């Protein structure tokens, strides 16, 4: 919010994994569908080794293309639902998609999310721009380091909310 992560009173407001995703077998949370763990399981179930096939520096994702396409469709559909649900609460202008996958996979996932958004009802919300990130496999480590530095050495913009025990309230 306003150019920074809003952690909320309990520190978990930036986690999108628990967002609910409708009509997908295998779980109802975003993390159950749009995570690389899902692709790992698909590879393992087909007799492959996810560590070699998606996490080594010279991995060839083309060798597992049918699994990648299935995962990408599922992830794109689930991310589109999560984007719309989040837009109902916070009006943001862009979504950055990044992860521990090659740039061509990231670009394809961006395209898939765009296609899935085209299919969904966006009445009452403004469609955000969907952009590829650029950190890739180091994003998680950078985010963790930035969070630690921010909490230890930066001014907390939300201190006033926590001092009197109040938190932002949603009016439904």
- Residues 6 or more apart from 107 whose CB is under 8 A from it? 132
Instruction: Say yes or no: domain 30-137 is CATH 3.30.420.40.
Output: yes
DSSP sequence for 36-52: HHHHHHHHHHTT--HHH
Question: Which pLDDT score, from 0 to 100, does residue 172 have?
Answer: 47
Tell me the mean pLDDT in the region 115-131: 95
| pLDDT attached to residue 25 | 80
Mean pLDDT of 84-95: 90
The tally of CA atoms less than 13 A away on the side-chain side of residue 115 is: 12
Give the model's pLDDT for residue 161.
53
Domain ranges of the chain: 30-137
Mean pLDDT value of segment 109-128: 96
CA distance 32 to 42: 12
Render pLDDT for 25-66 as a digit per residue (tens, 0 to 9): 888 888 888 999 999 999 999 999 998 888 877 778 998 999
pTM assigned to the model: 0.81
- Coil/strand/helix, residue 69: helix
């Amino acid at each position: 919010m306003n150019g920074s992560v809003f952690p909320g009173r309990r520190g978990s407001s930036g986690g999108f994994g628990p967002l609910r995703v409708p009509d997908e077998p295998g779980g109802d949370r975003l993390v159950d569908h749009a995570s690389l763990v899902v692709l790992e399981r698909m590879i393992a179930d087909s007799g492959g080794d996810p560590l070699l096939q998606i996490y080594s520096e010279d991995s060839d994702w083309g060798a597992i293309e049918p699994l990648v396409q299935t995962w990408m469709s599922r992830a794109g559909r689930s991310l589109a639902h999560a984007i719309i649900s989040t837009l109902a609460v916070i009006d943001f202008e862009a979504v950055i998609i990044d992860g521990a996958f090659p740039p061509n996979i990231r670009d394809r996932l961006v395209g898939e999310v765009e296609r899935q958004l085209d299919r969904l009802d966006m009445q009452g919300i403004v469609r955000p721009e969907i952009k590829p990130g650029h950190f890739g496999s180091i994003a998680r480590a950078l985010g963790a380091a930035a969070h630690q530095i921010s909490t230890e050495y930066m001014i907390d913009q939300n201190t006033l909310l926590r001092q009197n025990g109040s938190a932002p309230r949603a009016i439904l």
